[in-house]
Structure 1
Amino acid sequence: TRLAEAAGIAIDNGIAVDAQGRTSVPHVWAAGDCTSFPYRGTRIRLESVPNAIDQAECVADNILGAGRDYVAQPWF
């Protein structure tokens, strides 16, 4: 997150992304443990392998134009 902050990207308990993985800087996306994202009216940061994989897949689809919001899946 230090590198992102130094680059002028918004930080909010991690790299702040929107529901599709975009950061506050145009054309810069982020996914995984380093991000915080909208969830039920607040922002959360999930630090788990399943979340990192699921979110990265969603963000990759969005970079290609899918326009899909990431919805965190329950896990134990």
Structure 2
Amino acid sequence: MKKLLIALCIVLSAAGCGKRGRLDFPKGAVYPRQYPAPRAPKMEKEEPQKQELQPSSLLDLNEQLEKESQ
């Protein structure tokens, strides 16, 4: 009787192993997935561009370059 009970426990334990059911992908699932999930880029504030003075002549350009070098 003990041997029968032990054999029954072993058989039931072995029968419970594994996955039951379908191995199909669930409906609406996208495979393969990419981890981590891609995120939308953050919107950065655009800083107003500095308006630089355009020299009207070579003399103005030289003066501007001298001021920048100091």
TM-score (norm 2): 0.19
Structure whose residues are more often helix by fraction: 2
Which has the larger strand fraction? 1
Query: Greater RCO between the two (CA within 8 Å, min separation 6)?
Result: 1
Q: Which has the higher Rg, Structure 1 or Structure 2?
A: 2
TM-score where L is the length of structure 1: 0.17
